[in-house]
Homo-oligomer: A and B are copies of this chain.
Amino acid sequence: MKKVNLAVVGATGMVGRTFLKVLEEREFPINDLYLFSSSKSAGKKVTFAGKEYTVEELTEDSFTGRNIDIALFSAGGSTSGKFAPIAAANGALVVDNSSFWRMDPEVPLVVPEVNPEAIKEHKKGIIANPNCSTIQAMLPLKALHDKYTIKRVVYSTYQAVSGSGVKGVEDLEEGSKGNPTGFYPHPIAFNCLPHIDSFLDNGYTKEEMKMVNETRKILCDDSIRITATTVRVPVKNGHSESINLEFEKDFDLDELVATLAAMENVVVVDNPAENLYPTAAEFSDRDEVFVGRIRRDFSVDSGVNLWVVADNIRKGAATNAVQIAEKAIEMELV
């Protein structure tokens, strides 16, 4: 694979550090590597593939004259809004992990196993990485939508504190010892908060509407009816989702399970007789999406319930972004 000049923006955050870990693991073909952060973390030393790098402060000149081919952004929406176009104007293909560009019709929203061809349609030099809770659902849903045509989705999520970054993990860890940091608006230790991201006027959270809107965009089908309840749970890492699906077409359950198992990067873990099903604590730190508790929903003509688990920092963020970058190289877009 062609070696590229790569920038990581937000290199010292939780996702940024996982970007570097995943890039190293996958032996991503890097020529020059540039690490950027806010002024607060600038100057930090980071070791990558045995070599030490100094994190630079991100400025409007960061991308000038450096021939950066790909820039992986994970530095929050406002940073992406401002700096992704600057990176793109300097010739970089941006893969952005924030929500800022996701619903822009000129920005592809990509899960590489699901809609890799969309990558080519980037009109602004920006490709958006979907929301963590959406990404993991897309792999099983794509496989089933292609075969049975999904009519309706009801999502209820069980999302880990790592999704809020290091401060979320800290509040859970300290709170479990009786010393909550107050990062979340209510205690997270030994509690469940039906509140992720901010509330909108329609009573939903932004996180819930991301799941609704991003699912339709990625599956490229606005006719799918979707609702969501997203919940923060006292889990350190790994999101779980209870997904109820209703199909147009009827299905055979064994065939449906085989369809899921055949999907790239989906692993079926489903043997109730042996108490086997995926759980966040046991199936995080992996790049696949794990599906269990697969059973017919007897309340509709053709429906199924699924339990879907993935590492929200890896497949839900860093791994997915790196996979997009790999596809872009394969497609000779950089």
Contacts and interface: CB of A to CB of B under 8 A. Distances in A.
User: Would you list the 10 A-B pairs with minimal beta carbon distance, nearest first?
Assistant: A203-B295, A156-B156, A225-B299, A199-B272, A191-B281, A156-B242, A185-B275, A229-B242, A227-B299, A194-B307
19 contacts: A153-B299, A158-B158, A186-B282, A187-B281, A190-B281, A191-B279, A192-B233, A192-B235, A192-B240, A194-B240, A194-B307, A203-B295, A203-B296, A227-B305, A229-B242, A229-B307, A231-B240, A231-B242, A233-B233
A interface, over-half SS:
mixed
Interface string A253-288: 000000000000000000011010101111000000
Contact of A279 (B192, B240, B275): B192
A280 B192 contact: yes
A193 interface: yes
A187 B299 contact: no
A195 interface: yes
B299 A226 contact: yes
A176 B235 CA distance: 11
A106 interface: no
Interface in A3-39: none
Most buried by B among A176, A273, A280, A293: A293
Interface in A134-184: 152-154, 156, 158, 172, 176
Interface string A101-117: 00000000000000000
Nearest to A244: B154
Contacts of A282: 186-187, 191
A172 B235 CA distance: 12
Nearest to A158: B192
A195 B295 CA distance: 13
A234 interface: yes
Contacts of A153: 299
Interface in A197-214: 199, 202-204
Given A272-B203, A273-B199, A235 B191 contact: yes
Size bracket, chain A contacts: 35 or more
Interface in A290-308: 292-300, 303, 305, 307
Interface of A: 152-154, 156, 158, 172, 176, 185-187, 189-195, 199, 202-204, 225-227, 229, 231, 233-236, 240, 242, 244, 272-273, 275, 277, 279-282, 292-300, 303, 305, 307
Given A191-B282, A235-B190, A277-B195, A294 B227 contact: no
B158 A231 contact: yes
Contacts of A204: 295
Contact of A293 (B229, B242, B293, B300): B229
B279 A193 contact: yes
Given A191-B281, A229-B244, 8 more contacts: A158-B158, A158-B233, A172-B190, A191-B280, A192-B280, A194-B242, A203-B294, A229-B305
